[in-house]
Amino acid sequence: MPTDPEKRPSQPTSFEDMPLHPTIRAGVRELGYTEPTPIQSRTIPDAVLGRDLIGTAQTGTGKTAAFLLPILERLLDHPPGRILALVLTPTRELALQANEFLDKLGRHTRLHGAAVYGGVGMGEQERALRGGAEIVVATPGRRLDHMSRGYVNFTNLEILVLDEADRMLDMGFLPDVRRILSRLPRRRQTMLFSATMPPEVVRLARDFLNEPKTVQVDSTAAAAVGVSHLALPVPTHLKTDLLVELLTDQTMTSVLVFTRTKHRADRLARQLTLKGVNATVIHGDRSQSQRVKALDGFKTGHHRVLVATDIAARGIDVEGVSHVVNYDVPGEPDVYIHRVGRTARAQRLGDAFSLVGREEEDDMHRIEQRLGVEIRRALIPGFDYKRAAPDRSEAGAGQFRGGGGRRGERRGPPRGDRDRGRGRPPNRGRSGGASRPAAEPRRERRANW
C-alpha cells in the first residue's frame, strides 16, 4: 500500500513504528500487511492515546483496522470480562466482518469480540455477551434488544466507534443510535469512520465528540484512483440485455451489480439466472442465512454475479471484485463512491460500469461533478439499441424479445477475446466492423453522450 505523502513523525510508515504492542503487531504481520494505509498511519497514533476522531477515507482503504488496532492496544491491560468497547455498524455483514477481523488481529491477545446483529436468534449472542466479550460489534437495533434484557452492562465502556458513520447518523439509524448513546458513560473515547462525511453529519457528531481530530484521506480522489469508470447510455428497458451482453466478457469474473430496489434486485437476479448467468442476490429483505449463503457463494467464486442493493452492499468486502456495475445510477454521488469502492479494494484495479437510462443522466452528471472527472460514455458495438421494449410478462420471466432476433444467436465471442482495454468498451465491433458505435435510438440521443 502506498504511504501517506505527508510523512511526519506522528505518521508511521511501517507497523514496526506504530505504537502497538508486539502481540498486536504479530496479528498484523500474520495478515500479511507490511505498511499501514494512509488512514491507519494518520489515525492510529492519536487513537491509541484515547483521542476522539473523525476519519474519512474511501471504502476499502483499511478503516476497519484503523479503529480495531487502537481498540486492542488500549484495552490490552484492562481486566477481562467486561464490555469495554462498542463498535456500531449499519449492517449485519459489516458487524460479522469486523468481528472476524478483530479475531484475526487480536489472536495473540486475550481480548474477545462478540458480533451482535439482527436476523438470527438471540441465544448465541446472549451467551457471547454474558461470556465476557470485551469488544462488541453490533448493529443498533439488535444492540438495543440485548440492552433491554438487562444482562448487558456498559458502565465500564471506554471506546465507542461508529463505522460508516454517515449512515449511522442518518435519519434511519439516528434514533436508535441516540438511545444507545444515552446509556453509555459520558467519559469515553468516540471515533467516527466513514467514506463520506457530509457537513450535517459532522455537525451532529460534534454533539457527542470531544475536540475530535479530523483526518480526511481524500475520498473523491480515492474513488477515482484504481477504478476506471465508464458510462453506458442505454434505454431503460434494455438494461438487462446490455448487462448480459457485457457479461459475455470473460474478464468479468466477479461482478457486483447494484440496483435501486430490492424488487429490482430480485428480478434482475432471476433474469440473469434464466439467461444462464450464475447470479445470486443480497438485500435487506433476505434472511440472514440467505445473505450469508449469497455472499459466501460470491466470495468463493461459485456465483459470478452478485446483485445487491446499497444497504446490503455496505458490508461487502470481497477480494478481487473485478467489476462493479451500476444497473441503476444512484441518486447520490456519495453512494456511487461507496459502490465503486467495492472494486479496487486494497489498491486493486477494477472497472465500474454505469448503465445510464435517459432519466438518470442528471444523476450521472452530479456524480461527475463530485468526482471532478468526466466519465467516458460508450456504446457497445453490435448491441441492438433500437430493440423495442419486451412484453411485460416476458420481461418478468427474463425473456428478451425484439427485432434483433434471439440474443443467444447474436452474441459474439467472449469479450476477453476482443481487444478491450481496462474500463474501455470493446472498440472492435463483431458484426459492424471497426470502432463503429452501435446505432443509437433517436429518442436516446443527447448532445452530451
Q: Which residues bind ligand AMP (CB under 6 A)?
A: 1, 33, 36-37, 40, 59-65, 317, 345-346
Q: Considering the complex, state which of residue 300 and residue 448 has its C-beta at the smaller distance from ligand AMP.
A: 300
Least distance (Å) between residue 109 CB and ligand AMP: 18
Look-up of cell digits 489515525: 43
Cα 87 to Cα 122: distance, rounded to the nearest angstrom: 18
Cα 235 to Cα 241: distance, rounded to the nearest angstrom: 10
Q: Considering the complex, state which of residue 277 and residue 346 has its C-beta at the smaller distance from ligand AMP.
A: 346
Does residue 355 contact residue 243 with C-beta atoms inside 8 Å? yes
| Neighbouring-strand partners of residue 55 | 193, 215
> For the chain, how are helix, strand and coil distributed in percent, rounded to 5?
40, 15, 45
Q: Which three cell numbers stand for residue 153?
A: 452492562
Q: Which three cell numbers stand for residue 238?
A: 434494455
Does residue 310 contact residue 327 with C-beta atoms inside 8 Å? no
Phi, psi of 221 (to 5 degrees): -60, -40
Strands (E), 259-393: 279-282, 305-308, 323-326, 350-356, 376-377
User: Shortest CA distance to 305 belongs to which of 349, 361, 249?
Assistant: 249
Q: Considering the complex, state which of residue 18 and residue 265 has its C-beta at the smaller distance from ligand AMP.
A: 18
Least distance (Å) between residue 195 CB and ligand AMP: 9
* Contacts for 10-14: CB closer than 8 Å, 24+ residues apart: 10/45, 10/46, 11/41, 11/42, 11/45, 12/36, 12/41, 12/44, 12/45, 13/41
Q: Considering the complex, state which of residue 36 and residue 140 has its C-beta at the smaller distance from ligand AMP.
A: 36
Least distance (Å) between residue 101 CB and ligand AMP: 7
> 167-184 burial string, b = 16+ CB within 10 Å, else e?
bbbbeebeebbeebbeee
Does residue 410 contact residue 216 with C-beta atoms inside 8 Å? no
> 316-352 burial string, b = 16+ CB within 10 Å, else e?
bbbeebbbbbbbbbbeebbbbbbbbbbbbbeeeebbb
Least distance (Å) between residue 35 CB and ligand AMP: 6
Burial bucket for residue 149 (CB in 10 Å: 0-12, 13-18, 19+): exposed
Least distance (Å) between residue 104 CB and ligand AMP: 9
Q: Considering the complex, state which of residue 64 and residue 271 has its C-beta at the smaller distance from ligand AMP.
A: 64
Q: Considering the complex, state which of residue 1 and residue 204 has its C-beta at the smaller distance from ligand AMP.
A: 1
Least distance (Å) between residue 269 CB and ligand AMP: 25
Q: Considering the complex, state which of residue 102 and residue 268 has its C-beta at the smaller distance from ligand AMP.
A: 102
In this structure, which amino acid lies at residue 382?
G
Least distance (Å) between residue 346 CB and ligand AMP: 4
Q: Considering the complex, state which of residue 12 and residue 425 has its C-beta at the smaller distance from ligand AMP.
A: 12
Q: Considering the complex, state which of residue 36 and residue 235 has its C-beta at the smaller distance from ligand AMP.
A: 36
- C-alpha distances in angstroms, 36 versus 17, 25, 44, 218, 276? 10, 11, 9, 16, 42
Least distance (Å) between residue 87 CB and ligand AMP: 12
Least distance (Å) between residue 40 CB and ligand AMP: 6
Least distance (Å) between residue 301 CB and ligand AMP: 17
Q: Considering the complex, state which of residue 57 and residue 279 has its C-beta at the smaller distance from ligand AMP.
A: 57
Least distance (Å) between residue 349 CB and ligand AMP: 15
DSSP tag of 404: T
Q: Considering the complex, state which of residue 36 and residue 425 has its C-beta at the smaller distance from ligand AMP.
A: 36
